Amino acid sequence: MNQDIRDLIPITVWNHFSDLNAVPRASKKEEKVVAFMLAFGKQLGLETLVDSVQNVIIKKPATPGMENKKTLVLQSHLDMVHQKNSDTLFDFNKEGINMTIEGDWVTAQGTTLGADNGMGVAAIMGILSSKDIQHPALEALFTIDEETGMTGAMGLEAGYLKGDILLNLDTEEDDEIDIGCAGGIDVTAVKTYALQAMPKKSMAFKLLVTGLNGGHSGMDIHKGLGNANKIMNQLLLEVGDLIQIISINGGSLRNAIPRESFATVMISPEQKDQFLETITEISNLIKIDFIKIEKNLLIELEPVSVDFDSGLNKKDQSQLLNALKHAHNGVHKMSEFMTDLVETSNNIAKVLVANGEISIKCLTRSSIDEGKKELAGLLTNVFENEGFQVKLSGSYPGWQPDKNSEILKVMKDLYETMFAKQPKIVACHAGLECGILGKNYPQMDMISFGPTIKGAHSPDERVSITSVQKFWKFLIEILKHSPDKK
């Protein structure tokens, strides 16, 4: 089916995307894709370099007649989120993504697709390899580690880029032009606990929460999607007096709404009936709460055999469940300045309980720095009140909108001419690299746009074929009509 992808229009974009998707490129494991991009640039005979943090920069001179245009920086990130369904056998470190076509959509078979931000990378590759597309002088910036800390953008030093305008190709609705984004900070709560022996003749059960939609913890946070960690905690709270928690493993990546959670608990045989009855009752209520948006939610319970004889003591168990109950998850505040924009939110992304250690990882986002600090502070108080130690890390700034942007006017006028309607001028509740890049390049005019992508950061990720065609045509016209040098 990957050959069918290569036959799609525009062929240059889909072929570059297919080549890219054959290369493993998890965040913080970009060695292979960095080598791939270096070979690509050098094969074209273009100036190609890699900076101290492994960002790749490829420069291409202006085509004849475009020398007096301002230099454009085309920017996308090389890494992708690696997520798969629990029943999918796939090794992200060795295998290329298996793609398929479903109507107007390209998707992957049981894994994330990598359209975020692979479509942007592929489009830039298409421009760099072209021989007939008009464009000003170009600087292609391919950053690393956007998904798990934006360390590529943070590490890019001043002086590498000479461009006046930056086009970030990393948003996910083709009728939107993005002029701002949220900043973020990681909130991690940790705690050790003394193992407590379980009573003899205890029974072990595994509780499974699966089948949730998941999604991007910024772009999808307002949709009311189920968070597997919150759902699991709700279940465990209801039976807290009956159980002893042995382990919990919920969620995966900080920037993905958790789709699955698994817990192993012990109970005494005398409390089995009450335990099963309560779990069934609460499971039914939770499914009713999510019946419209999480139609595939599964809450299952199965007896298991365990090779250990100890778990959480009652005090630590109670503190864990209370902390997760009171820790905010989801939208915290909507913007007062832009309609329908989430200002501040939190995602309880990962919960691990095992072998005497508890770890809770959250990603807090806000388009306002004070909002980010406020919610991180509230979370810190909740966790510290329950005996956890809290670490704040990975803070990155938001990107403040500039409604007087020169390239924004060019793009608005082009969009209206080409598509006979006005684009939506928006800011997004995701972390784009523009705000970070702007620290070392404060005079650079920046815009973000891209094709329509749904379900990013989940195995349901898909990109619209017709939208890629629209995006590509728009990008080519922007290059042709980029502003002149003053």
Fold of 185-396: Alpha-Beta Plaits (3.30.70)
Mean pLDDT rounded to a whole number for the chain: 94
Contact yes or no for 169/417 (Cβ under 8 A): no
Rounded to whole angstroms, how far apart are CA atoms 338 and 368? Answer: 12
* Domain segments of the chain as ranges: 2-181+398-480, 185-396
Share of the chain above pLDDT 90, in %: 84
Could you tell me the pLDDT band of residue 453, with boundaries at 50, 70 and 90?
A: very high
Fold of 2-181+398-480: Aminopeptidase (3.40.630)
- For the segment 76-112, what is each residue's pLDDT rounded down to a tens digit? 999 999 989 888 899 999 999 999 999 999 999 999 9
pLDDT of residue 397 exceeding 90, the answer is: no
Alpha helices by DSSP H, listed for 242-313, are 272-289
How many Å is the maximal CA-CA distance in the chain?
Answer: 84
| 146 classed as catalytic | yes
Q: Which of 30, 79, 139, 147 is catalytic?
A: 79
- For the segment 24-65, what is each residue's pLDDT rounded down to a tens digit? 999 999 999 999 999 999 999 999 999 999 999 999 999 999
Q: Which residues of 56-83 are buried (b: 16+ CB within 10 A; e: fewer)?
A: bbbbbebbeebeebbbbbbbbbbbbbbb
pLDDT of residue 1 exceeding 70, the answer is: no
Residue 308 has a pLDDT of 66
| 186 classed as catalytic | no
Share of the chain above pLDDT 70, in %: 99
Q: Which of 116, 139, 145, 146 is catalytic?
A: 146
pLDDT of residue 252 exceeding 90, the answer is: no
The sign one gets for the Cα dihedral 238, 324, 189, 257 is positive
- For the segment 213-246, what is each residue's pLDDT rounded down to a tens digit? 998 899 899 999 999 999 999 999 999 999 999 9
